[in-house]
């Protein structure tokens, strides 16, 4: 699903996400190297359970690095904010001291997102680097993350249930349009 999401980004957006234009095989290689034992991936699904937004939090010592992508037709709905907020809580609760980001300087949506959350930015050539100092984890932050994880699991289960019913209804009605 992650690969399908990244490949469904328009070429310009892929370049913004990775800092350069990458061929599909390079993106597939990136996805194959994701370390799920160390890192975290958060996603937002649409009603058909397709990933429309993804956040990748990569850990290196006490620093976490964040990458975010949202499909164009799903932007300006708060998905990037929700993914950012979730990534911050996750990194904080794993005792990361800093959340780091970098993006191409002309990626204004990323700059707006970072600015909304108080990320300190520095322009370095064609890239902007961002750092957000994270507070120590607390009982409240851990409880909030557990609640969000539980709500996300319930939301995904409900969406899967509804998608199953829609699929069942389409299968029983041969005249219904096919959704791909």
For 82-100, what is the mean pLDDT?
97
Q: Report the SS3 class of residue 125.
A: coil
Residue 162: per-residue pLDDT? 85
Question: In CATH, what class is 2-172?
Answer: alpha beta
At 159, the pLDDT band (50, 70, 90 cuts) reads: confident
User: Where along the chain do its domains lie?
Assistant: 2-172
Using the predicted structure, report yes or no on whether residue 179 has a pLDDT greater than 80: no
For 120-142, what is the mean pLDDT?
95
Residue 177: per-residue pLDDT? 52
71: number of Cβ within 10 Å: 19
105: number of Cβ within 10 Å: 16
For 132-158, what is the mean pLDDT?
94
pLDDT, one tens digit per residue, over 3-58 is 999 999 999 999 999 988 899 999 999 999 999 999 999 999 988 888 999 999 99
Residue 163: per-residue pLDDT? 80
DSSP 174: T
Rg (CA), the chain: 18
At 166, the pLDDT band (50, 70, 90 cuts) reads: confident
CA torsion angle 113 17 69 57 (round to 10): -80
**What sections of the chain are H helices per DSSP?**
2-8, 11-18, 24-32, 79-93, 108-116, 139-172
Residue 164: per-residue pLDDT? 82
Q: What distance in Å separates the CA atoms of residue 108 and residue 117, rounded to the nearest whole number?
A: 14
């Amino acid at each position: 699903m992650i690969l399908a999401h990244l490949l469904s980004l328009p070429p310009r957006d892929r370049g913004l996400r990775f800092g350069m234009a990458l061929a599909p095989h390079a993106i597939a290689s990136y996805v194959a190297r994701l370390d799920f034992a160390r890192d975290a991936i958060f996603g937002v699904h649409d009603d058909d359970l397709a990933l429309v937004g993804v956040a990748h939090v990569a850990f290196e010592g006490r620093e976490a690095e964040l990458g975010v992508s949202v499909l164009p037709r799903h932007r300006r709905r708060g998905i990037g904010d929700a993914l950012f907020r979730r990534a911050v809580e996750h990194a904080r609760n794993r005792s990361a001291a800093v959340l780091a980001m970098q993006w191409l300087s002309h990626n204004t949506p990323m700059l707006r997102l970072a600015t909304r959350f108080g990320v300190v930015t520095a322009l370095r050539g064609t890239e902007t680097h961002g750092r957000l100092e994270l507070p120590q984890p607390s009982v409240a932050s851990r409880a909030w993350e557990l609640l969000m994880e539980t709500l996300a699991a319930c939301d995904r289960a409900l969406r899967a249930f509804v998608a199953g019913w829609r699929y069942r209804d389409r299968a029983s009605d041969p005249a219904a349009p096919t959704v791909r």
